Amino acid sequence: MPRSVSPEPGDPDRVIDIWCCRFEAPNMPRMTVDERLFERLHDLATTLPKDITWLSPTPIRADSLRDLGERLNEVGTDLVTYADELDRLAAQRLPAGGWIPEAGTPSLGQRRAHYVGKGRLRLGLLYIANCGAACFPFYGHDLTGKITRHERCGSCIAKGAQQ
């Protein structure tokens, strides 16, 4: 049964949980851990060395290759589906306009706003903008319009970002 992600207070990943709780709407679904999927991964990690050793002698049997390939394919498909679901939930935390500030310390003193759209390209908590800049949704849904005080990236606009 999936459970909510809620790291312990000393856990360095707690910033994820704090950020998600701070900026999500009360009725927004929480990201969950699919424990059954991770149990399957651990099982695969345990049995894979034995499976590979068993496949090594010649002649290689097609049925054993097919069995292993099907197991890997099933787990891989489930992992991609789970990642898509987590991406969908994370994208719900972005402002509707798709503009968020760049991450890190800005070189000119103020962060520029970049267009990430629906947030399809993610690297951990960072979203990759149209221009390739790493961005972080500091303002969550940005209901107060704080992003308007940031200069918009010319490269993002040139690459077709919505104004």
What is the model's pTM?
Answer: 0.59
Identify whether residues 144 and 78 lie together within a single domain: no
d(CA 119, CA 143): 18
Q: Which residue range is the domain that position 86 belongs to?
A: 3-91
Judge if 85 and 110 occupy the same domain.
Answer: no
Q: Which amino acid is at 5?
A: V
- Tell me what pLDDT residue 125 has: 78
- Per-residue DSSP letter, 103: P
- How high is the pLDDT of residue 28? 54
**Assigned domain for 125 exists:** yes
pLDDT in the model for residue 27 = 54
CA diameter of the chain: 68
- The predicted pLDDT at position 101 comes to 92
| Lookup: tokens for 100 | 């968020």
Judge whether 144 lies within some domain: yes
Q: Which residues of the chain have pLDDT under 70?
A: 1-31, 107, 120, 161-163
pLDDT at 110: 81
Q: Where is the domain boundary, 33, 62, 91?
A: 91
Predicted pLDDT of residue 80: 92
pLDDT of residue 163: 61
Give the pLDDT score at 160. Answer: 73
Looking at 70, 91, 112, which one is the last position of a domain? 91
Query: Cα Rg for the chain, rounded, in angstroms?
Result: 21
Considering the domain architecture, whether residues 81 and 109 belong to the same structural domain is answered as: no
User: How far apart are alpha carbons 9 and 5 in whole angstroms?
Assistant: 13
